[in-house]
Chains A and B, each alone.
Chain A
Amino acid sequence: MKKIIFYFIIASLVFGETKKWDAHSAYLLPQKRWEMGLFQPFRYGYSESIEYSVHPLWFFVMPNFSLKKSQSDIAGFTSASQYKIVYPTPFLNMIAKEGIMGIIAPEFRMPPMLGLSVSWLMSKNMTGVDLTLNGGLDLGVTLGDLDTRSSIDLPLVYHRLGIYYNSWGIHTGLDVQKNMTQKFTVFFDLDLKFLPGLAEAQTDPDASKFMGEYSLEHKLLLIWNKSENFRVLTGYKFVMGKYPYGSDMRMLPYIPMAETWVPIIEFQWAGEKR
């Protein structure tokens, strides 16, 4: 069971920022509409100006909650703010263990940690292309000693957990989406994450071990919109970044034992609360 949960959590990281029905744009879901995916969080249009989301599979091991609020338009761009909170400690302690699936060395005990993130999103349709720009600040609040050796030096994971070792980070991104036909959409995104603190890294050799500095994530998806309430996505995710061991890049999803990349396959559903 733990393996299944872990697989879904890792897999959802790959798909976690997939733009669905404008999930990562400044547009909110219509009131009472819900959307969810195999690897995506459950989103709900609470009102005309508020949308919330939660990842149900993550929730029991890594409580999380996100809220998106519409804001006044700026220079013709639809704008929204987004607030996220996550408590990763239970999950991280679950994988700090001996034996298989011991991702973190068993001698480390992760302290209570809270991840807070605030983003600003701006969207506009320009000559048939949906464009979204986003940027924001990530804070990692750690209540106790966090050993730098407990970092998970893997693509997608390292820079997300890096805020707890670095206390803060910044992120920015660009999403582009175009409907090719009524049924098919192409989606492209670029996301950049920084863990600032280079000055300390240069003066403190130990600090340089956990200053990942940056990661660049890019995704290209082909979306088949079967109906308003169901769609299928396929494509790839590419990650490059700086890690404690140096620079690295990886196409995802990647199946280690087969030593091959496989395309993303994601199913998404939607509906309305009556």
Chain B
Amino acid sequence: MKKLISILGLLLILGCEPFVTEFPDTSTAVLYEATSKSNATYNGDNIKVVTWNIRFGIARFPFFGDSCGDSVILDDATIEKNMAAIADSLNAMDADIVLLQEVDVSSKRTGYMDQVQYLLDNTNLNYGCYASMWKADFIPSDGIGRIDAGNAILSKYELTETERIQLRLRTDQDGLTKYFYLRRNIVKAKIPALAQGEKDLFAVNIHATAFATDDTKQKHIDTYVETLSDIDSSGALFVTGGDLNSVPPGSEYDYCLQDMCPGEKYKDENENEIDYHSIDSLTDGPHKEGAYFNNFVGEREILVPLYDTYDAAIDSASYNLPEHFTHGPSTSYEMNDIKYDRKLDYLFTNGIWENTSSKTHQAAWELSDHLPVSAVLNLGGE
């Protein structure tokens, strides 16, 4: 009888893993290592940092969730090709630290490829840590199925003290949608090999909310600022960045009409169809989720504390220039001949970026709906 109870208990434990994974406020990130490591010994040089939302390797595939597309699952061969191109780009950039957003590690939509492991095995980066933002056995909507997607930090050097910091969930969704929806996070790691004397060096990666129409984005940026401030006040150095899903101060903020899909209308809670807000319209909304950056008071200046406090890779004199746009919806080129039309991706440090080293890699526009941004942290080396 005892054996039977033990077996039943074991089945209950093993067979009752959560269907949708929720996360505590802080937890450790999942560590990765390249199968075969490239030789990397830090010799005091400046270090190069890249941030890139790689859109889970589907490049400009017309995915239903973030563009005017209606497709969900890309074929394996194309994903492999896209990931190889992303790996080649990273190798060409020769970054020491890479901050990635929208990486799949076990998702049906990308053939269950572990993209963190793939990139480590196909680049000169050796170590990684991963924090899931969307993990479920099955999403019963739009054929998404099983999903595990999130943010990752890749590095030539070993990562320690990894941390996944939970960001607040959206409050503008019903309970069922919220249960199956994303749980965005900040992922943070220490890189002991890059410590500058007594100063530890941390990498911090964020993917803030894109589609919330409440104050969730403000909460995400607040948590981000707090996280950076804690590192800064501890006397350590950090390099940070990610997809902040926020436009720079002074930028255009209403992309509703630009991003609108053919024939698309806003549907209210009673399924009534209403035209989206027009810039020229006297009416105030409704707005297209993810295309409007003035949902609450202060949203247009949401990045000011970051720019005021830290060194930005693309400074305030340049952040609204077209050569630093980092995003365009994936179908915007086919529809409107637009490759990129806004800046959503950023790099900051409490150190100093090397002058003239920062770059928005717009040539990579075909590999994602976001473009990589790189910068070199000046550590007094070559």
Which of A105, A238, A248 lies at the interface centre, i.e. has the most chain B CB atoms within 10 A of its CB? A105
Rounded to whole angstroms, the CA-CA distance of A42 and B40 in the bound complex is 68
- Smallest CB-CB separation from B142: which chain A residue? A102
A1 part of interface (Cβ distance < 8 Å): no
Interchain CB contact under 8 A, A102 and B15: no
Contact with B along A85-103 (1 / 0, CB 8 A): 0000000000011111111
Interchain CB contact under 8 A, A251 and B71: no
Chain B residues numbered 32-78 whose CB sits less than 8 Å from any CB in chain A: 64, 70-73, 75-76
Interface size on B, residues (CB 8 A): 32
> Chain A, interface size: which category?
35 or more
User: With A96-B143, A101-B140, A153-B146 as given contacts, are A256 and B20 in contact (CB-CB < 8 Å)?
Assistant: yes
Rounded to whole angstroms, the CA-CA distance of A77 and B86 in the bound complex is 63
Q: How far is the CB of A205 from chain B (nearest CB, A)?
A: 7
Rounded to whole angstroms, the CA-CA distance of A172 and B20 in the bound complex is 32
Q: How far is the CB of B209 from chain A (nearest CB, A)?
A: 21
B residues near A254, Cβ cutoff 8 Å: 15-16, 19
User: With A244-B112, A257-B179, A261-B16 as given contacts, are A104 and B143 in contact (CB-CB < 8 Å)?
Assistant: yes
Interchain CB contact under 8 A, A250 and B76: no
A228 part of interface (Cβ distance < 8 Å): no
Q: Which of B11, B14, B72, B146 sits near A245, CB closer than 8 Å?
A: B146
B282 part of interface (Cβ distance < 8 Å): no
User: With A249-B15, A251-B12 as given contacts, are A107 and B106 in contact (CB-CB < 8 Å)?
Assistant: no
Rounded to whole angstroms, the CA-CA distance of A254 and B70 in the bound complex is 31
Q: Which of B11, B73, B76 sits near A105, CB closer than 8 Å?
A: B73
A183 part of interface (Cβ distance < 8 Å): no
A residues near B17, Cβ cutoff 8 Å: 250
A residues near B140, Cβ cutoff 8 Å: 100-103
Interchain CB contact under 8 A, A209 and B18: no
A-B residue pair count with CB separations less than 8 angstroms: 96
B residues near A256, Cβ cutoff 8 Å: 19-20, 179
Q: How far is the CB of A271 from chain B (nearest CB, A)?
A: 35
Interchain CB contact under 8 A, A205 and B72: no
Interchain CB contact under 8 A, B73 and A205: no
Q: Which of B12, B16, B142, B175 sits near A98, CB closer than 8 Å?
A: B142
Interchain CB contact under 8 A, A105 and B143: yes
Q: How far is the CB of A32 from chain B (nearest CB, A)?
A: 40
Interchain CB contact under 8 A, A238 and B176: no
Interchain CB contact under 8 A, B141 and A101: yes
- Smallest CB-CB separation from A102: which chain B residue? B142
Chain A residues numbered 241-274 whose CB sits less than 8 Å from any CB in chain B: 244-246, 248-252, 254, 256-257, 259-261
Interchain CB contact under 8 A, A107 and B73: yes
Rounded to whole angstroms, the CA-CA distance of A244 and B76 in the bound complex is 13
User: With A98-B64, A108-B143 as given contacts, are A251 and B73 in contact (CB-CB < 8 Å)?
Assistant: no
A112 part of interface (Cβ distance < 8 Å): no
A152 part of interface (Cβ distance < 8 Å): yes
Rounded to whole angstroms, the CA-CA distance of A96 and B72 in the bound complex is 11
Residues of B within 8 A of A (CB): 11-12, 14-20, 64, 70-73, 75-76, 106, 108, 111-112, 137-138, 140-146, 175-176, 179
Please list 14 pairs of residues, one from A and one from B, whose beta carbons are closer than 8 Å in the complex, sorted by A's number.
Answer: A100-B176, A102-B143, A103-B145, A153-B146, A154-B137, A154-B138, A246-B106, A246-B112, A248-B137, A249-B15, A251-B11, A251-B15, A257-B175, A259-B16
Known: A102-B140, A153-B108, A154-B137. 12 other contacts (CB 8 A): A98-B142, A100-B141, A104-B143, A107-B71, A149-B75, A154-B138, A209-B76, A245-B108, A251-B16, A254-B15, A257-B179, A261-B15
